[in-house]
Amino acid sequence: QGRSYSCITEHKPAKLGLMAAAAPVQNAQGARKVPADEIAQPFIKEIQEATSQLPEDRRPKLVGFLANSDPAARKYAEWTGKSFRRDGMEFEVRQVETDDLEQALEEANLDKSVSGIMIYYPVFGNRPSFHGGSYDDSLRDSVSLAKDVEGLCHFYRRTLYRNQRYVDSEQARKCVLPCTPLAVVKILEHLGAYDEQHAVGERMTGKSVTIVNRSEIVGRPLAAMLANDGATVYSVDIDSTYIFRRGKVEPVPATATTEEIVRQSDVVVLGVPSDSYKMDPAWVKEGAIVINVASHKNIDEAALLSTRPGVRFVPQVGKVTVAMLERNLLRLHKNFDGASRLVWDSALGCVAPAPADGKCVTNGQALEAA
């Protein structure tokens, strides 16, 4: 954060004259803007139906910890609360001082009335932790896996990167995945990028994807998820570009440029947290899908839609991300509601609610799950 993407910012759109600005822009043939509502609505309906079948006193509750002064985080919290109330679930914002966050988090982990926990990052930025790594990384790993609605703790990172899709060895409980990367996957499914004729895990085979962002919350997990589904993913960041294929990461050839990579991509995902970064729309190939996950628009929408036939552009993903947050909460509730302990099977790398009689299984270690 606070770093410059100038080294990969190779296009600055020309300013439009007053006459051009006044004229309506006509889309190129087949090009269209795809609103987030179009993708989110079926999930919202599914969430509302699932919630309505639960007794009111057994509906899941999400607690969001706000320990920074970021107005965007506060706005996201307000938006989340409005969505949860609409869809019949509880949402509570707990504003705490940064030095009190760790203790507040532990209390929420043990609170049986709390089904899910999220933290509005960044909190400490790159400040180092006593436990190693950054303090924010330590916080992510401190959220109980039974309540980690964002799928960012060590357990879910491990399952994601190992392409392990279930929490338990019986494959009855699906893992949760990070909300924004999951939203991108659902958008791609909606737009037909995933080929349902192929088996699960192969539905992006033959597709080329460029992601301009390699953060631990969005870009890197998204690259792994799409690679695990068969895509060849080019992960572009400030000072490097890597190719993600299932289970493997390698640098691109030294002569490769971002322009060359984008020109061959079926999907382009833009996530640069800066208003100064603008990708040249001329790089985008005809018929590609372009998804903007950044809070800033990383490409000139009018230029893209008017010059690139067949392009589908999703300018915002927030509503789909919130729907995935709700979906993850329902999944955690289904997986772990009523379980006071989990059993960790070190041989299989799985967990499951402990037996009612309290007996452990072979290789098992009991973990508190309240």
Q: Which residues are catalytic?
A: 179
- Residue 29 neighbours by CB distance under 10 Å: 9
Nearest to 222 by CA among 268, 279, 257: 268
Between CA 104 and CA 125 the distance in angstroms is 19
Between CA 217 and CA 138 the distance in angstroms is 14
Cα dihedral 155→200→217→154 (10° resolution): 10
Between CA 215 and CA 7 the distance in angstroms is 17
Q: Which of 146-174 are b and which e, b meaning 16 or more Cβ less than 10 Å from the residue's Cβ?
A: bbbbbbbbebbbebbeeebeebbeeeebe
